[in-house]
Amino acid sequence: MEVRLAYVDVTVFEIPDGWTAVGYVGAGAALAYDPERRPHRVADGAAEPLDPADVNRALVSAIDEAGLKVWPGGWTHALPQAFGLNRRTTQRDRIERSGLNPAILRALGTVAGSHDADGLGLLMSALATYIERHAQGRGVPEDLDDAEEAAANALSLMRDVRRGRTTRVEPE
């Protein structure tokens, strides 16, 4: 079985409400998970259940391919850091046995398909590092809000400097 993580246009593939489309399986079919995290092949408006063990084995290669687009230097530490996962969760044997949460698969596939996948990977890693070191530890939504505010502040400072004249003033 061949699996590729990627953005799935739900206007092209009729993904049932509440399901999570994470990429493609084989040629011309979407891979989507139902709310109970069971994988399905979706094509021509019909959802066909897939063997979770077969899908999980195929996910190992798909995650590796997508992960290296996002983090070319290696994803095994970066992906769990970015998404706040235990590193054990993303090890090959664990993926083969349990897969990964469909929301993680969807996010990874979406980022991997972007023209600036490695740049987004750098940003996610930087934001995750900020959260680990500088967020106030009030909980996930609040820590993400802290990182968002810090990123906006950093961009504002960069914008001020990059738009202004930054040449050295000559002493009189």
Instruction: Render pLDDT for 92-123 as a digit per residue (tens, 0 to 9).
Output: 999 999 999 999 999 999 999 999 999 999 99
Q: What are the DSSP calls for 77-137, one per residue?
A: THHHHHHT--GGGGSHHHHHHH---HHHHHHHHHHHTSTTHHHHHHHHHHHHHHHHHHS--
Answer whether residue 169 is part of any domain: no
Answer whether residue 156 is part of any domain: yes
Q: What is the DSSP letter of 25?
A: E
Tallying the residues shown for the chain, one arrives at 172
The reported pLDDT for the residue numbered 165 is 66
30 φ, ψ (degrees, to nearest 5): -85, 150
pLDDT band at 129 (very low <50, low <70, confident <90, very high): very high
Answer whether residue 171 is part of any domain: no
Q: For the chain, what is the domain count?
A: 1
Phi-psi category of 24—alpha, beta or left, where left has phi over 0 and alpha has psi -120 to 50?
beta
The reported pLDDT for the residue numbered 139 is 81
Answer whether residue 172 is part of any domain: no
Answer whether residue 98 is part of any domain: yes
pLDDT band at 138 (very low <50, low <70, confident <90, very high): confident
In the chain, the percentage of residues whose pLDDT exceeds 70 is: 95
The reported pLDDT for the residue numbered 166 is 62
How many beta carbons lie within 10 A of that of residue 159, not counting itself? 10
Helices (H) and strands (E) in the chain, counts: 6, 5
Residue 90 domain boundaries: 3-163
Answer whether residue 170 is part of any domain: no
